[in-house]
Amino acid sequence: MSASLVKDVKKTFIKKFKTLPLLIFSPGRINIIGEHTDYNDGFVFPAAVDKGIAAAIQKSNSGSCTAIALDIDSTIEFELDKLKPSNEGSWENYVFGVVAEIQNRNKVVGDFNIIFKGNIPGGAGMSSSAALENSIVFGLNELFELNLTKEDMILISQKAEHNYVGVNCGIMDQYASMFGKKDHALHLDCRSIKSKPYKIDFKDHQLMLINTNVKHSLSDSAYNDRRSACERVSELLGIRALRDATEADLEKIIDKVIPANYQKALYVIQENNRTIKAAKAIKNNDLETLGALIYQSHEGLSNQYKVSCDELDYLVEQAKKNEHVLGARMMGGGFGGCTINLIAKSEAKAFAETASKAYKNKFNKVCSVYFIQLSEGTHLVR
Ligand code: GLA
């Protein structure tokens, strides 16, 4: 799957720039549990997948840089000393942002050309943005021998997202995309930015994604609002981040917080605890418990944190009606994108069909089903 993407960008690059490029594959991610906990210094449980972005990159001697988004057949030319954020929502902000954040670290990037193509639909909640950012920073690091560590690179990608794309994201996506390990999920502590890999082999069960194929607008501002609300509650509690709070701590300031934000903070504290419990359940191969935690996560995201939408809630309801689905929830930032389902292997196809039919009837829209493999993080393709 990723091999054909790499082939495409390579072929196009050689044709256009008459030279051999470096080739990079940078994956998207899933997240088993731990949603909206990363920017609260909490735990998450992501894994890199076999879908992502392929990039071809090489130095340019034309006096300027060219970037081509092959999927949408869009080309931009730019100069390195004149970078500033483009209009909101423009794909070039990912490129400009990464370059500018490298420059901010007093590292020198020369002119370059880049062509990329991906197979994660935007808005799927599978971090095509982080995959793209990581592919650019990884490629530039190789090309110009910048001596950046992988830790440096993910912080650069994250800053690009904050300052150029305008989303105050946590570190989960960039981390998972960069550090992914084949057949493993990463139990990541977002404060220390250190993770423990867990081998994922659910025996007769598997993970399956269903993409609602919707992305409701305003999701970026809603994301930033959630983050600010969490930070305000932390401040009231006199702590660094909600990761440090218990439900009892929160109860003590109940009169000082509006009920909506109280519920949001409560969700974060509970979700963080669920993520720790999920690691234990996976270690013990206790899929019933893992599934129950996943369902609880969705309840919290939908009713307390308020980042779900009708389409996601509907797919989770369909899952609940099927005894072979042990757990299902929305995945990623929310307001659209995928649900992640923990389901019996033998029943996965049948459920995918029933859920797709029901979804079509209800919304007159098509959903997409993905069976994913857990894969390596951002890497050079030789
Ligand atoms: C987006 C952000 C992540 C994380 C998730 C929610 O994917 O980029 O940092 O906050 O939402 O868990």
**CA 36 to ligand 1 center in whole angstroms:** 6
CA distance 137 to 153: 6
Please name which of 62, 140, 131, 75 lies closest in space to residue 101, comparing C-alpha atoms. Answer: 140
Identity at 308, one-letter amino acid code: S
Q: List pocket residues of ligand 1, CB cut-off 6 Å.
A: 35-36, 38-39, 127, 169-170, 172-173, 332-333
Give the position, in ligand 1's atom list, of the atom nearest the Cα of 172. Answer: 9
**81 included as an active-site residue:** no
**CA 41 to ligand 1 center in whole angstroms:** 12
Show the low-confidence residues of the chain (pLDDT under 50): none
Give the position, in ligand 1's atom list, of the atom nearest the Cα of 34. Answer: 12
* 262 neighbors 254 (Cβ within 8 angstroms): yes
Predicted confidence at residue 216, as pLDDT, reads 87
**CA 51 to ligand 1 center in whole angstroms:** 18
Residue 341 CB contacts under 8 Å (≥ 6 apart), including other chains = 207, 208, 209, 210, 319, 325, 327, 328, 351
**How far, rounded to the nearest angstrom, does the alpha carbon of residue 185 sit from its chain's CA centroid?**
13
Please name each of the domains of the chain with its CATH number.
3-199+376-380 (3.30.230.10), 205-371 (3.30.70.890)
Give the position, in ligand 1's atom list, of the atom nearest the Cα of 127. Answer: 7
CA distance 283 to 273: 16
Q: How far is CA 192 from CA 48, 140, 151, 333, 351, in A?
A: 20, 26, 11, 22, 39
CA distance 340 to 7: 30
Q: Indicate the top mutation candidate among 31, 32, 37, 38 to test ligand 1's pocket, ranked by most ligand atoms within 8 A of CB.
A: 38
Task: Kindly report the protein residue whose alpha carbon is nearest to atom 10 of ligand 1.
Answer: 36
Predicted confidence at residue 1, as pLDDT, reads 61
In percent, the amount of the chain with pLDDT more than 70 equals 99
Of these residues, 173, 220, 286, 310, which one is catalytic? 173
CA distance 79 to 70: 20
- The secondary structure of 249-280 as a DSSP string is HHHHTGGGS-HHHHHHHHHHHHHHHHHHHHHH
Give the position, in ligand 1's atom list, of the atom nearest the Cα of 130. Answer: 8
DSSP designation for 230? H
Predicted confidence at residue 2, as pLDDT, reads 84
Q: Scanning the structure block, which residue is given the tokens 């340019």?
A: 60
**CA 31 to ligand 1 center in whole angstroms:** 10
Whole-model pTM over 0.85:
yes
The residues pairing with 43 across neighbouring beta strands, listed in sequence order, are: 189
Helices (H), the chain: 2-17, 92-103, 128-143, 150-160, 172-179, 219-237, 247-252, 259-283, 287-299, 310-320, 348-363
